[in-house]
Chain A
């Protein structure tokens, strides 16, 4: 909300937005729209509501990338994916590996572009090196999606077990805790 107000103030004051910022915001909308297009399969009452909410979330993310709208948009698109392909694991509408990987890539792009847009000032001369370094660092997670999607497709649908589920839940807890451990505050001292 604060960012949106800042944008409105900047537009009102005639501050020239940098081309990179405009491009980033358009890319946020494009990646989200792409993920939505790939996610929805059947038009139902609930789907329409989720689509509308996701579109609003996307527009809000493009306007204020530092807000919670980005999280909401990604989760809504994932919800759309679940609704469209059935919540049950035994659903007949099983998504293809390529579509899954592509949606994964687009969702992560949406997240990463919103992060970059939030990190850059509205009107700024941006060194090209910043964008190049950012793009290079996108590759490992995106490559991981493709690899995991390929592995999942190769393994096919396996019946789960109680032990595997407990392990999976432990992995989820680990996923949540690991970043928290990594970002524990370090008190930094000033350098003269």
Chain B
């Protein structure tokens, strides 16, 4: 894309060349000074030769990128192609600038690149940028300034189109233990609470009709004079429901190298958890507390991960939801593991977690409030108010624990292990419903 109706305009250098040539030539003629005529010569010859090579056409600018999606912190190569329809177009200096955005950092600490456009040869300038925060954003436009005729003519800024990239929040690896409260389905990677064909040994018991012969434990059978079999737990899958609290965003977004907001932590955690469970063959669904219409139903496989990440890219902080979210949460399958990612601001998230737990579903709250979060100081009372709020929040967390909802701070890989063990143990224990 090029801006319409561009003119090649004289630069101050052309004015200087003409002025100097005219004055010196005038002095040479009027003063009968051959030496001054000699001084004027290069200005005259240089100007005329340069203007004879002047381009008559405006070049076109095109911006392309090396990838349409990448991970946080990865580099993206951008190519700015400058070409002219007229093959004789000769441009001395092509200066390319990429308009930088908040989370697109040009590498090598330079934002401008200079090349030249030779007749018949298109000019390609490569610019490497690094995207440091998840999200869908447009990079560009590339602004190109050209100077021709040996610096005597220039064209206004030419602008290219935009390159749209998706920066996936899938940078930190996540691993969790195998334990889930209730493994359902027919096949999967988790040890269920029920016996059946599987790989995890449940114990040795007397042979029953229907047991497979290859399960017979011959050493025990010979010792006891009765047929015994090695029983196993069946391997089944589970459904993980990720509930994302996007009603508040606390903190200053600094990208992958700087500070994170609560939404950054929640989105990165959601992506990592989804990737982990989907890789293990489980089903993952997503409910956004702020945007009820962005619910992703349960699914499995690589394609589902792409779908989840696509939804996570467009997550923004907004305070909506209401009845539609309540309906979505009520439809969560009974045996599903619910992971609520929330900074626990206000009573909505706490209330939702308690409601889910009260409905008999195993729920785990992942605290996404940044450790270094601090409100901007608006008055001398701000620090005190902040401390009071933290106390209130601690009380809310205590209430959640009382209701059997564990709260754990997100710390990347392994941060859910202990809690998952506890939840699994609690799920297998006999209990009376209140």
Contact = CB atoms under 8 A, between A and B. Distances in A.
B8 A183 contact: yes
B42 A116 contact: no
B29 A168 contact: yes
A141 B39 contact: no
A178 B43 CA distance: 13
Contacts of B48: 178-179, 182
Contacts of B6: 188, 190
Nearest to B113: A125
A97 to B, nearest CB: 8
B52 A182 contact: yes
B417 to A, nearest CB: 46
Contact of B39 (A104, A122, A123): A104
A133 B19 CA distance: 25
A163 interface: no
Contacts of B7: 185-188
Contacts of B52: 182
Contacts of A171: 25, 29
Nearest to A39: B39
B33 interface: yes
B46 A176 contact: no
A82 interface: yes
Contacts of A189: 4-5, 58
Nearest to A144: B45
Interface in A132-191: 133-134, 137-138, 140-142, 144-145, 148-149, 152, 155, 157, 160, 165, 168-169, 171-172, 175-176, 178-180, 182-183, 185-191
Contacts of A176: 18, 21-22
Contacts of B371: none
B358 to A, nearest CB: 57
A101 interface: yes
Interface stretch (B146-154, B194-202, B392-400): B146-154
A190 B50 contact: no
Main secondary structure of the interface of A (DSSP, over half): helix
A127 interface: yes
A88 B36 CA distance: 12
A183 B37 CA distance: 24
B85 interface: yes
A112 B52 CA distance: 17
A126 B92 contact: no
A169 to B, nearest CB: 6
Nearest to A16: B109
B38 A148 contact: yes
A105 to B, nearest CB: 7
Contacts of A68: 12, 16
Nearest to A107: B39
Interface in A38-59: none
Contact of A120 (B10, B12, B114): B114
B16 A70 contact: yes
Given A100-B38, A148-B41, A179-B47, A186 B8 contact: yes
A166 to B, nearest CB: 9
Nearest to B24: A78
A167 B160 CA distance: 50
A191 B2 contact: yes
A160 B374 CA distance: 86
A26 interface: no
B112 interface: yes
A123 B110 contact: yes
Contacts of A145: 38, 41-42
B57 interface: yes
B28 interface: yes
Given A107-B39, A111-B17, 18 more contacts: A89-B33, A111-B20, A111-B43, A119-B95, A119-B151, A119-B154, A120-B95, A125-B108, A127-B114, A134-B92, A176-B18, A178-B51, A185-B9, A186-B8, A188-B8, A188-B57, A190-B4, A190-B6
15 contacts: A104-B41, A104-B42, A107-B42, A120-B95, A121-B95, A125-B113, A130-B116, A145-B41, A145-B42, A168-B25, A175-B18, A182-B52, A185-B9, A187-B5, A189-B4
